[in-house]
């Protein structure tokens, strides 16, 4: 047995639940000189890390489990299934065929709505659902990157909604107020949106760096501040209000500020998705190849060691939150200048600010994981509507499945127990 085979002998009590047994084998717990407070902090940090950056397998299993539980719920709420259940002993085959019809009907409807529709003949229309999925995926990916980046610095950015709203409002203001050539107008609107998102996220980072205020509380509160700020702006004509209208909605965007369609006017897919793909590449480079990303990861994994190595931890927090805010800002811009160009209102974020947390968790805070998770959730969104329309299954069921995914992600030991996987061992 070589040295490397030993368990983490003098590992600090990392406290990830699965590792507890191994940690206490440490012969030299004396080494971890941290006091109880620091210990607890480290524990919650590593808990967050475990949830936000576990292995890909448990992500896949969580999705699988959630879909399974979803199927049970579909079956339980289906009239045909309930009817046949009453005489299941007499004719069990009826029950099972009803069960199959309900579940397969639901998921095939979802597939038709999200990927490929075999019920229409026009080849272009057949693939239209996929473009819808990608359209929905764009802001989810951008938002997921914003939240995931903060996760890598061990920060929880719950302020997606506020950051999106502020950014969307600012981009809209540029978008409908000015008459400029597209080559200036569109980039300007996008950049101003990002800037406001960065500002809104940066406040939380700066407060944490300077005063130790917890970013979870600050970002939640900034969601309210942002919401009502935009609401107020929608009542002022010099800001976002439509002249002569009492609706809290801004005028529509000028054509020169609208993200162009990628596949022509027959499809809704706009350049927001391309921006999301570029953002995935940029964030990947940032995290894995840049010095800033290196420092972000160092601060996220062990702020004490980062500080002792001359890294300014506070500044890193601020920068991370600004970058995360900018990415969520892009998600907001994506909505305002791409998906809903008829004008900004306070529900423009469409829940993406919070869905982004789920996407980041499912994507394990890795850019490519977030890309995959974003597309999956885009498919849920696009397919959910078809499911409701054609099979009369509530679209809320999709939300249940999404929530279950997070639930299973947050409880890796549960998933491991269900699939009888071995507990994670020290390598």
List of residues contacting another protein (CB under 8 A): 1-12, 14, 21-22, 24-34, 38, 49, 285, 289-292, 294-295, 297-298, 301-302, 304-312, 422, 425-427
Of 1 and 183, nearer to another protein (C-beta) is 1
Of 312 and 390, nearer to another protein (C-beta) is 312
Minimum Å distance from CB 56 to another protein?
Answer: 16
267, 128 contact by CB (below 8 A):
yes
- To the nearest 10°, the Cα dihedral for 355, 360, 363, 369? 110
288, 367 contact by CB (below 8 A):
no
Q: How far apart are CA 74 and CA 298, in angstroms?
A: 45
Using CB atoms within 10 Å of the CB of residue 426, give its burial: 0 to 12 exposed, 13 to 18 middle, 19+ buried. Answer: middle
Minimum Å distance from CB 202 to another protein?
Answer: 20
DSSP secondary structure string, 301-330? H-HHHHHHTT--HHHHHHHHHHHHHHHHHH
159, 144 contact by CB (below 8 A):
no
User: Which positions ≥6 away from 191 have C-beta within 8 Å?
Assistant: none
Q: How far apart are CA 13 and CA 286, in angstroms?
A: 30
Of 34 and 85, nearer to another protein (C-beta) is 34
Of 24 and 89, nearer to another protein (C-beta) is 24
Q: What are phi and psi of 270, to 5 degrees?
A: -115, 180
Of 75 and 296, nearer to another protein (C-beta) is 296
DSSP secondary structure string, 42-105? HHHHHHHHHHHH--HHHHHHHHHHHHHHHHHHHHHH-HHHHHHHTTTTT-HHHHHHHHHHHHHH
Minimum Å distance from CB 273 to another protein?
Answer: 27
Beta bridge partners of 261: 270
Q: How far apart are CA 7 and CA 427, in angstroms?
A: 7
Minimum Å distance from CB 363 to another protein?
Answer: 18
Of 29 and 214, nearer to another protein (C-beta) is 29
Closest to 205 (Cα-Cα) out of 253, 153, 258: 153
Minimum Å distance from CB 358 to another protein?
Answer: 23
Minimum Å distance from CB 302 to another protein?
Answer: 5
337, 261 contact by CB (below 8 A):
no
Minimum Å distance from CB 275 to another protein?
Answer: 22
Of 26 and 407, nearer to another protein (C-beta) is 26
Of 27 and 122, nearer to another protein (C-beta) is 27
Minimum Å distance from CB 123 to another protein?
Answer: 44
Q: How far apart are CA 149 and CA 286, in angstroms?
A: 10
Give the residue ranges of DSSP H helices in 153-271.
160-177, 182-211, 215-233
Of 236 and 289, nearer to another protein (C-beta) is 289
Minimum Å distance from CB 21 to another protein?
Answer: 7
């Amino acid at each position: 047995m070589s040295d490397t085979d030993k368990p983490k002998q003098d590992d600090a009590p990392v406290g990830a639940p699965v590792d507890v047994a191994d940690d206490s084998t440490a012969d030299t717990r004396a080494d971890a000189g941290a006091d109880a407070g620091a210990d607890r902090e480290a524990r919650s940090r590593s808990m967050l890390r475990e949830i936000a950056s576990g292995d890909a397998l448990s992500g896949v299993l969580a999705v699988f489990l959630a879909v399974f539980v979803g199927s049970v719920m579909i079956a339980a709420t289906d009239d045909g299934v309930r009817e046949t259940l009453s005489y299941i002993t007499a004719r069990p085959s009826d029950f099972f065929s009803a069960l199959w019809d309900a579940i397969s009907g639901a998921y095939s409807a979802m597939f038709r709505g999200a990927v490929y529709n075999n019920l229409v003949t026009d080849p272009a229309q057949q693939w239209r659902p996929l473009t819808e999925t990608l359209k929905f995926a764009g802001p989810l990916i951008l938002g997921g990157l914003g939240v995931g980046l903060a996760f890598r610095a061990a920060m929880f950015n719950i302020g997606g909604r506020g950051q999106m709203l502020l950014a969307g409002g600012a981009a809209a203001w540029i978008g409908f107020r000015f008459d400029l050539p597209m080559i200036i107008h569109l980039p300007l609107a996008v950049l101003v949106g990002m800037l406001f998102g960065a500002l809104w996220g940066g406040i939380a980072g700066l407060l944490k760096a300077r005063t130790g205020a917890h970013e979870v509380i600050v970002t939640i509160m900034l969601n309210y501040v942002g919401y009502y700020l935009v609401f107020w702006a929608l009542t002022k004509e010099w800001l976002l209000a439509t002249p002569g209208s009492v609706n809290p909605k801004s005028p529509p965007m000028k054509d020169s500020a609208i993200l162009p369609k990628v596949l022509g006017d027959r499809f809704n897919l706009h350049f927001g998705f391309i921006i999301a793909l570029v953002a995935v590449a940029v964030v990947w480079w940032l995290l894995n190849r840049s010095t800033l990303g290196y420092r972000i990861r160092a601060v996220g994994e062990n702020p004490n060691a980062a500080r002792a190595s001359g890294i300014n931890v506070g500044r890193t927090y601020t920068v991370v939150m600004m970058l995360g805010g900018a990415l969520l800002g892009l998600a907001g811009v994506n909505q305002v200048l791409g998906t809903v160009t008829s004008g900004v209102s306070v529900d423009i974020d469409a829940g993406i600010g919070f869905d982004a947390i789920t996407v980041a968790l499912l994507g394990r805070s890795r850019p490519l994981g977030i890309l995959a998770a974003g597309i999956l959730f885009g498919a849920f969104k696009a397919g959910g509507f078809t499911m409701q329309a054609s099979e009369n299954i509530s679209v809320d069921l999709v939300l249940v499945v999404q929530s279950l995914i997070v639930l299973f992600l947050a409880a890796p030991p549960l998933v491991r127990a269900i699939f009888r996987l071995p507990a994670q061992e020290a390598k």
